């Protein structure tokens, strides 16, 4: 598996982290370089982190009761 294929696979895993079933056609991302694919991964990780933080804040409100 090439580095690009690994990155695309990692993107799919991040997208499917919430129970989805996302498949990315590698041909659609073939024009992107590794740096662009890595920045997509970073963006997805940041979104996931924000979601986790938001969920934790929501859950914290129930600890008061």
CA atoms within a 13 Å half-sphere pointing along the CA-CB vector of 4: 12
For the segment 20-45, the average pLDDT, to the nearest whole number, is: 87
Residue keyed to tokens 């990315």: 24
At residue 64, the pLDDT reads 67
pLDDT score recorded for residue 15: 85
In this prediction, residue 20 has a pLDDT band, given cuts at 50, 70 and 90, of: confident
- Report the alpha-carbon distance of residue 51 to residue 25 in Å, rounded: 26
Query: Quick one: pLDDT band at residue 51, thresholds 50, 70, 90?
Result: confident
Q: What is the pLDDT averaged over residues 37-48?
A: 93
Contacts of 3 (CB under 8 A, 6+ apart): 34
């Amino acid at each position: 598996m090439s580095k690009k294929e690994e990155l695309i696979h990692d993107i799919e895993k991040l997208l499917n982290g919430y129970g989805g079933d996302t498949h990315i056609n590698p041909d659609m991302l073939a024009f992107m370089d590794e740096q662009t694919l890595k920045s997509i991964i970073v963006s997805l990780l940041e979104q996931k982190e924000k979601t986790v933080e938001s969920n934790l804040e929501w859950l914290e409100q129930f600890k008061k009761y």
